[in-house]
Each structure stands twice: as C-alpha cells, then as structure tokens.
C-alpha cells in the first residue's frame, strides 16, 4: 500500500500528529499478534467523500475482537466518527484507504487475555488508488494451506492470522506472480491472502463457502447481492483447484483490491486468454457505479458521506 500517511492520526478519541503516535515496546500486540484491524475505503466522487459499507466494517471490527474476548472500548458511533473524522481532519478530498485498529496494550508477558485487558484504538488514512493492475493479474496456487477454524477463528480479522497471508504472498512474489491463491486444509480453493475469490464456472458465478476458511468479505457479500439483483446466478459452493483452473473467468474481491481480474493461474491462461471476461467486467462496472454513488438503490444503505453529513 502506498505511503505517505496523512499527517493526523486518531488515538482513543484524539487527533495527534503521526510522529507523536508511538507505542511502548512492551505492547502485548507486538509480541502476540493481538491486534484487530479493518481496511475501509472512502471514495471521492467530485462532490463528496463517501465511506463504503461503514456499518458492516464496524460490525466485523467489534466481532473480530469478540472471538478472543478482546474489548473495543469505543461505541459504534465513536468508531464511525473516528473513520469519517480522520478523513475530515486531514481534509481529504480524494479517494483513500482508512485503517482502524485496536490492540492489547500493556498486559505483560501474559497469554491470559481477558476483556479487561487494556486496549488502544487508533486509525490512520492515506490517499489510495488501485492495489493491483485492473487489466488482469497472475496468481499461483500456494504450497501453504489456509488455516482453519480448527486452529484459530478464521473470521477474526486479527494481526496474528495474517502470518499465513504473509508467507503465501512471499512465496507467490518469489515465483514472479502478483498474488497467491490458498487452498483450504481439504484441498479446495479458499481465498487469496487478502482477497476472496470468484470464478465463472459453466456460466454461474461461484465463490467458496465460508467452510473453506474464507473470510466473510464485505466486497464478497456486495458482489453476491449485486450479481443476483442483476440476474446473474451467484452461488457459494466448494470449488476444486481444477474447477478454478478451467473456469471461464476468475477474479479477486476485497476492499483494497476491489474487483481484480485474474488472467493467469499457475502459468495457465484463464478463459479465452483475452483478458477480463464479460461477467468480471460487468461486476467491475457495477461496483464502481455503487462506490461512486451512481447507483441510487445502494447509496443510502452503503455510502456514508464524510462532509456535510
């Protein structure tokens, strides 16, 4: 992701200059990965900056810590104000990425984390465009498997969980690919290190079920709903690697990646090799219309204006 960060960051209700936002080396999260985060996008449409699906991000934010009994000591409305406020205070009038997070602070050398363990919440923002090349990227199937709920809760968006993503990403980059695709423990397709995956198989839009250890992505949910409303058959079902490799189209979805076509997997061209296919292009267009506020049927539900609300 691109730096630089905006000058002001939010910590537990105050806006402070970035260089003053430091934490002690004894912070529990530094040692044990006890940090919960969200990735949120806000889109500038020439008139206003709109945060996409803010309420859903806040719901997942709180729920992630809940799996571990880690407390988010701010109300939903305070978290909402932090996310919109960090954009406003930094006078952002361009599309940006916001990273709210909370973590266990000074809690000693202690693996017994209870709801009264001290936590700190912070948020920062930065202008942000495309994460990936939108004309299509290459991916490789990772030799690392996606961890499952048998080890740690997959739906907890927590620092420690991302070591699995980091090792898979490193392997993919070393192999010269743009991204990794992880299989679940039983060998079905799960997701990418920071994105969900969709494939067009026999004319249907398919994404792996949550039982394949995929994160319940907000973009994934958006795509399922919008595709169905547009008359595209969209289903959650197990996906084998062979089905993915022989799909007509494959794309990744995520707040950062938005909708990113995957045109090569394990050196094999996907579909007819002519770039993003028609379903992918249609979903990309619909998604852009929605986040830019050009789809009135979704604007009220999914867009939160930063200015003049």
Q: Is 301 exposed, middle or buried (0-12, 13-18, 19+ CB in 10 A)?
A: exposed
169 binds ligand PLP (CB under 6 A): no
Task: Kindly tell me which residue out of 196, 212, 213, 263 binds ligand PLP, with binding defined by CB under 6 A.
Answer: 196
263 binds ligand PLP (CB under 6 A): no
85 binds ligand PLP (CB under 6 A): no
Task: Kindly tell me which residue out of 218, 224, 247, 270 binds ligand PLP, with binding defined by CB under 6 A.
Answer: 218
- Residue number, 100 or 217, with CB nearest to ligand PLP: 217
- Residue number, 105 or 209, with CB nearest to ligand PLP: 209
Site size with ligand PLP, rule: CB under 6 A:
14
Task: Kindly tell me which residue out of 100, 217, 261, 277 binds ligand PLP, with binding defined by CB under 6 A.
Answer: 217
Residues between 11 and 70 that touch ligand PLP (CB under 6 A)? 39
Binding mask 242-261 for ligand PLP (x = CB under 6 A): -----------xxx------
**Which residues are known to be catalytic?**
157
- Residue number, 184 or 191, with CB nearest to ligand PLP: 191
Interface residues with ligand PLP (CB under 6 A)? 39, 165, 191, 194-196, 215, 217-220, 253-255
């Amino acid at each position: 992701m691109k730096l630089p960060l905006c000058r002001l960051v939010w910590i537990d209700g105050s806006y402070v200059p970035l260089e003053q936002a430091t934490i002690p080396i004894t912070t529990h999260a530094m040692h044990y990965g006890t940090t919960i985060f969200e990735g949120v996008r806000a889109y500038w449409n020439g008139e206003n900056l709109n945060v996409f699906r803010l309420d859903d991000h806040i719901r997942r934010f709180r729920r992630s810590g809940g799996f571990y009994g880690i407390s988010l000591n701010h109300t939903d409305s305070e978290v909402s104000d932090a996310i919109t406020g960090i954009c406003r205070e930094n006078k952002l009038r361009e599309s940006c990425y916001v990273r709210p997070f909370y973590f266990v602070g000074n809690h000693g050398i202690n693996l017994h984390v209870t709801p009264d363990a001290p936590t700190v919440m912070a948020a920062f923002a930065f202008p942000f465009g495309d994460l990936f090349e939108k004309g299509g990227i290459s991916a490789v199937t990772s030799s690392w498997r996606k961890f499952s709920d048998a080890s740690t809760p997959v739906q907890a968006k927590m620092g420690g969980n991302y070591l699995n993503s980091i090792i898979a990403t490193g392997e993919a980059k070393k192999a010269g690919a743009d991204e990794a695709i992880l299989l679940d423990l039983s060998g079905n397709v799960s997701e990418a290190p920071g994105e969900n995956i969709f494939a067009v198989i026999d004319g249907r839009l398919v994404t792996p079920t949550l039982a394949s250890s995929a994160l319940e992505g907000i973009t994934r949910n958006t795509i399922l709903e919008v595709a169905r409303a547009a008359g595209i058959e969209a289903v959650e079902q197990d996906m084998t690697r062979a089905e993915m490799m022989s799909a007509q189209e494959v794309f990744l979805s995520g707040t950062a990646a938005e909708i990113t076509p995957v045109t090569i997997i394990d050196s094999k061209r996907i579909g007819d090799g002519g770039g993003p296919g028609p379903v992918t292009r249609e979903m990309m267009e619909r998604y852009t219309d929605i986040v830019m506020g050009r789809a009135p049927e979704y604007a009220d539900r999914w867009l939160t204006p930063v200015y003049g609300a």
